[in-house]
Amino acid sequence: MTTIAVLGNGRVGGNLATALTRAGHEVTVADRTPGAATHAARTAQIVINATPGAGSLDRLTALRDELRDKILIDVSNATFDGPDGLPADLIYPGSSLAEQLQEALPETHVVKTLNTMLFPVMTAPATLTQAPTAFLSGEDPQAKQTVTELLAELGWQEDWIADLGGIQTARATEAAILFVPHVIRSSGFTPFAISIAR
């Protein structure tokens, strides 16, 4: 059993918290209540960033001490929203939220994953008609191995997980969010994921 803090109690955070609790972990969900994120991060072994990406950097930088030497799983995408509320452009073009987090939190092991799919797929990948891909970006091999083990508990088969390399590779997966509004407008909120076919 691992102690996990999920920062963000929206659809993404709630979905992940429910699934990880079901897998046998001790999960705390931090909402926007003052002090909630600080307490949750301090007592956790692994922290998941499921906060809206536009404000993630400021929120997490404020938790530098609590996140020291811990794994931070970043599932968010930092975007400017269009008039319809869907992602319209990247906040960090030429970079990524994950890179910004790793630079701001050098003593934290940032791993980017699960950000190239609609949220129901994160915890139920086998429900799609084709195998999805969960990408990993991060500097620390052991941290990525730990995240891979967590993904397996969420139903991700080994050959569905692709380690892209260092944290800089997250700029590619974060840019994939620009597909999302067009797919949603054309086919609705039907669950989907980016997949590498071989």
Q: For residue range 50-78, list pLDDT tens digits in order.
A: 999 999 999 999 999 999 999 999 999 99
- pTM score of the predicted model: 0.97
Q: Enumerate the β-bridge partners of residue 87.
A: 81
> Distance between alpha carbon 166 and the CA centroid of its chain, in Å?
16
pLDDT value, residue 198:
85
> Which stretches of the chain drop beneath a pLDDT of 50?
none
pLDDT value, residue 29:
97
pLDDT value, residue 34:
86
**Number of Cα atoms under 13 Å in the Cβ half of residue 82:** 11
Parallel/antiparallel/unpaired status of strands 134-138 and 109-112: antiparallel
pLDDT value, residue 36:
94
Query: For residue 16, what are the contacts with CB-CB under 8 A and spacing of at least 6?
Result: 6, 48, 50, 75, 122, 123
pLDDT value, residue 33:
87
DSSP annotation of 117 reads: B
